[in-house]
Amino acid sequence: MSQPPPWNQPQPWNQPPPWGHQPAGPPPRADGGGVPLLVLGLVTALLGLLGAFLPNYSYGDGIGSYSPLLQSINGDTFFQAAGLALLAGVVLLVVGALLQRRRVGVGTGLLLVGAGIVLQAGGGQLLGLLQAAVDPRLSSGIAVGGVLLVLAGATAVATVVVGLLRLARLR
């Protein structure tokens, strides 16, 4: 028979690990910084904001122009309440872009929602352009706000892709 180990000597399971003592809690996260997401979010917000206010379409024969927030017909300007959704998307983009560096999940989630709203507006603008290119009877032409809104939709796609990749790296 073998003898039991002496109880007053240190046992191997009581030894500290060879790599040293680690502090309690989760390890510090090496964050990528989120600078590309910050830049994409702010650029998308700026393009969306300009596209919301500047005329997107100009009606033929100088009748007027249309933007998501304002419509001008024969010198009269009307407020468009539907453009408030685009402004909400712009606000979500700015808040998410600034917040995603501190609170990655919350900020990136806000960025994704805001980019989705701007993408919907930019995609609708792009579909309107394609419809005008196919049907020559349409007498409206694109204005500078429409181009900016299509660009905002394109940067919103990039924002969504980069945001989803960043969220996937968190897991």
38, 97 contact by CB (below 8 A): yes
pLDDT tens digits for range 112-136:
999 999 999 999 989 888 887 888 7
Domain ranges of the chain: 33-69+78-170
Average the pLDDT over 9-14 and give the result.
63
Largest CA distance in the chain: 108
At 170 the pLDDT is 80
Cα 23 to the chain's mean position, in Å? 36
CA atoms within 13 A on the CB side of 40: 22
Is residue 141 very low, low, confident or very high in pLDDT (cuts 50, 70, 90)? confident
At 57 the pLDDT is 85
**Cα 25 from Cα 23, distance rounded (Å):** 6
Lowest mean pLDDT among 65-74, 106-115, 154-163: 65-74
What phi-psi label fits residue 64: left (phi over 0), alpha (psi between -120 and 50 degrees) or beta?
A: left
**Cα 85 from Cα 125, distance rounded (Å):** 15
69, 52 contact by CB (below 8 A): yes
58, 147 contact by CB (below 8 A): no
At 19 the pLDDT is 66
156, 96 contact by CB (below 8 A): no
Average the pLDDT over 45-71 and give the result.
89
pLDDT tens digits for range 16-31:
666 666 666 665 555 5
What distance, in Å, lies between the first and last C-alpha atoms of the chain? 51
